[in-house]
Amino acid sequence: MRALALIALVCGAESSVHSVAAQVAANVEAGISDVRYDGFLASAAASVSPTIRWEHPRGRGLISARGTYLRFESGRHSLDGSANGSWFIPLAQHVRAEFGVSAGSSQYANIASFSHTEGEARLHLMGGDRGGWAGASVGRSHFGGAARDVVVIAAGFWLLRNDNSMFVSLDRSVIGDTAYTDLRASGRVRRSRIVLEGVMGARIWSRGGGRGVFGEGSAAIPLSPEVALVLSAGRYPTDVVSGSIAGRYLTAALRVGTNPIRRPAPRVLPSDNPVYGGSDGLNASETRLIIQVRPEDVLLTLYAPGATTVEVTGDFTDWQPVSLSRSDSGTWGGTFRIASGIHHINVRRDGGPWRAPGGTTRRADDYDGEVGVFVLP
């Protein structure tokens, strides 16, 4: 019932998401799966998974909840839901604390019912593009009428390189007389508009929690700003805390909702670039603009691999297309007189559509297209 309540909460909230504050985001995934739990026959299943996330208006914390309804070809179904919240407290420039709580429940037909509650504390040590954390969770896990204490100690490291991120974590879980250690490495890569995520791991030093390796991967392919096709597959281990058993799966799902797809990740402009450009647009892999302010003029250098012609237009050309010259190094360039202030720019390669170049802030223009914006000091 607790899972039902959670799912009802999520579904009920979703319908009103668009009318409330911008810090609420929600989506629903509906898909089909082929799943084989360890010890069970393979089965097809249809699933619906709503998710909702709320952020404190000033960003001090967040609450999220998700649920999954799964109906197997046998006619049986499973429900699971979880909710968690975190509060962040900066302790120093490079250190901050996180306190969180989480609760969840799962139920398979009328056979098994799990629930758990946990409290968590983490200490984060941050760098500009890397960081680490260490923390511990304590709580209770219930199966039927029996309750067991839960203690999880975890540490990890993350690394960010442009659009790509990598995580490595090690955690030791003790649930009653069951104990195991999971070592995980995961990554997230963006290629054009497609987001690829994957995790590889191994369960070791286990007493009652099984052993072995596991891995999962997913690809989120945006079909529109609010719809994405999500393909995922893999094998995951038993989670004794939440009551999920190990299994293999292959899933294709449609994700619909607000903020379902992460926005394009920013790329850092060269540190000596004095110009305020912005995050790359969707076409960052096609063109990338470097702006250099010189005493007499401004040099625009464009990276457009594979292009045979490159043109630029903007307010500094009175929106007349100007062909750029190709250099020996394969880049395209041109010099312009550009006054300080806000400027709009588009580029096109090989006579194609006008695009916002990477290295500028991409915005929708007034003509059903896009335009790059940069500020010249």
Residues 289-318 that bind another protein (CB under 8 A): 313, 315, 318
Residues 225-284 close enough to bind another protein by CB under 8 A: 230, 232, 234, 236, 247, 249, 251, 253, 259, 262-263, 265-266, 268, 276, 278-279
Q: Does 340 bind another protein (CB under 8 A)?
A: yes
Token pair belonging to 266: 């920013």
Minimum distance, C-beta of residue 256 to another protein, in the bound complex (Å): 13
Return the beta strands (E) in 56-177 as ranges. Answer: 61-72, 77-92, 95-108, 112-126, 130-143, 146-161, 164-175
- Locus of tokens 């393909």: 231
Minimum distance, C-beta of residue 97 to another protein, in the bound complex (Å): 11
Minimum distance, C-beta of residue 329 to another protein, in the bound complex (Å): 26
Q: Answer yes or no: are the C-beta atoms of 228 and 194 closer than 8 Å.
A: no
Q: Does 61 bind another protein (CB under 8 A)?
A: yes
Contacting residue, 158, 180, 214, 332, with another protein by CB under 8 A: 158
Question: Cα separation of 279 and 361, whole Å?
Answer: 5
Question: Cα separation of 176 and 170, whole Å?
Answer: 20
Stretch binding another protein (CB under 8 A), from 42-50, 173-181, 282-290, 300-308: 42-50
Contacting residue, 50, 67, 139, 156, with another protein by CB under 8 A: 156
Q: How many residues does the chain have?
A: 377
Instruction: Return phi, psi of residue 11, to 5°.
Output: -65, -40
Q: Does 86 bind another protein (CB under 8 A)?
A: yes
Contacting residue, 9, 98, 147, 210, with another protein by CB under 8 A: 98
Residue 103, beta-bridge partner list: 83, 117
Minimum distance, C-beta of residue 173 to another protein, in the bound complex (Å): 15
Contacting residue, 11, 197, 215, 301, with another protein by CB under 8 A: 197
For residue 9, the 8-state DSSP code is H
- Could you tell me which residues come within 8 angstroms of residue 271 by beta carbon, excluding any fewer than 6 positions away? none
Between 330 and 353, whose beta carbon lies closer to another protein? 353
Between 299 and 342, whose beta carbon lies closer to another protein? 342
Minimum distance, C-beta of residue 25 to another protein, in the bound complex (Å): 8
Between 72 and 332, whose beta carbon lies closer to another protein? 72
Question: 3-class SS at 185?
Answer: strand
Contacting residue, 21, 41, 111, 146, with another protein by CB under 8 A: 21
Q: Does 55 bind another protein (CB under 8 A)?
A: yes
Q: Answer yes or no: are the C-beta atoms of 184 and 169 closer than 8 Å.
A: yes
Contacting residue, 4, 77, 131, 151, with another protein by CB under 8 A: 131
Stretch binding another protein (CB under 8 A), from 129-137, 207-215, 285-293, 298-306: 129-137
Q: Answer yes or no: are the C-beta atoms of 104 and 242 closer than 8 Å.
A: yes
- Upper half-sphere CA count for residue 55 (Cβ side, 13 Å): 11
Stretch binding another protein (CB under 8 A), from 50-58, 105-113, 172-180, 298-306: 50-58
Q: Does 341 bind another protein (CB under 8 A)?
A: yes
Minimum distance, C-beta of residue 323 to another protein, in the bound complex (Å): 14
Minimum distance, C-beta of residue 92 to another protein, in the bound complex (Å): 9
Q: Write the DSSP string, 103-117.
A: EEEEEETTTEEEEEE
- Could you tell me which residues come within 8 angstroms of residue 220 by beta carbon, excluding any fewer than 6 positions away? 194, 195, 197, 228, 229, 230, 255, 261
Contacting residue, 7, 26, 50, 68, with another protein by CB under 8 A: 68
Q: Answer yes or no: are the C-beta atoms of 167 and 185 closer than 8 Å.
A: yes
Amino acid residing at 213: V
Minimum distance, C-beta of residue 71 to another protein, in the bound complex (Å): 10
